[in-house]
Structure 1
Amino acid sequence: MAYRIIGDAAMLAHFAFILYLALGGLLAWKWPRTFWAHLAVAAYGLSISVFAWTCPLTHVENWGRVNAGRAGLAQEGFIDHYLTGVIYPADGLREVQAGVGALVVLSWIGLALVTRRRRARRTADARPPRHSDPVRRHPT
């Protein structure tokens, strides 16, 4: 039972990682400090795609599944097992990767624009109000 929980937890962590990879840049619009975590996740995800590394979560999931008496993941790994041919067509992996990459880049551009707008607003709020007509005092 414990091995099955480990395998399932690794599978859920995989899904969470991929979801955060795709949407974390948009979350940074609300919570800008999360940008750095998203940058690390995006860099890691890109390196896995470019260098064809196997994610450590795949090893953990396989270990848990096999020790629980279940079949391990295919050699291709998590994405091919759970997503390719299920969420998108089997021959569309590169297009999906490019789409996720574009979403990440666009979310970062949007974050830069949102951050610039917030800074301009804070700067404007910090300035003393400007009056076009000075207040004239009349002697009494």
Structure 2
Amino acid sequence: MLVHFLFLVFMAVGGFLAWRRPRLIWAHLAVAAWGVASVITGMECPLTVVEDWGRRNAGQEGLPAGGFIDHYIEGVVYPEEHTNLARLAVAALVLVSWAGYLRRKARAGSPPHVNQE
């Protein structure tokens, strides 16, 4: 469960981490692409499959049909009727983090400002 939650946190804010560690941008792009694909196609996350397997082998009840997000996030962190708003907020965070990353990268690549007075 903890790994799954950290994965979702990285999906939301990993682009900001790439501001300090630029190589993380590639991992974040992959995670964000997975997030978009899973929302669009409804694919089950492999982490949900692993968690469900672990819960069942530990003698616990498996995750409900909606998976990790339906069980731990929706209705707990935000009301279920605001799912689309939460998705938009995460998408906005990702886009802002990428814009900031690109801006920092452009600044790092530009020549230093020379005062020509």
Give, in whole Å, the separation in 2 of the partners of 1:91 and 1:131.
Answer: 58
> Scaled by the length of structure 1, what TM-score is found?
0.78
Structure 1: gaps of 5 or more residues:
1-10, 133-140
In structure 1, the residue matched to 2:12 is 22
Q: Deviations over 1:56-77 (max 9, x none)?
A: 1111111111121111110000
Query: For 2:31, which of 27, 41, 52 is the aligned residue?
Result: 41
Q: Deviations over 1:13-53 (max 9, x none)?
A: 11111000001000111111111110011001110111000
Give, in whole Å, the separation in 2 of the partners of 1:62 and 1:44.
Answer: 19
> Scaled by the length of structure 2, what TM-score is found?
0.92
Distance 1:113-1:131 versus aligned 2 partners, 3 A rule: closer
In structure 2, the residue matched to 1:63 is 53
4+ residue segments displaced more than 3 Å: 129-132
Query: For 2:108, which of 82, 93, 118 is the aligned residue?
Result: 118
In structure 2, the residue matched to 1:12 is 2
Structure 2: gaps of 5 or more residues:
none
Write out aligned runs for 1:69-80 (5 A).
69-80=59-70
**Is the aligned partner of 1:105 residue 2:95?**
yes
Say how many residue pairs are matched: 117
Give, in whole Å, the separation in 1 of the partners of 2:116 and 2:54.
Answer: 70
RMSD over aligned CA atoms reads: 1.7
Paired-residue identity, %: 46
Q: How far does residue 109 in structure 1 lie from its aligned partner after superposition?
A: 0.7
Give, in whole Å, the separation in 2 of the partners of 1:108 and 1:26.
Answer: 8
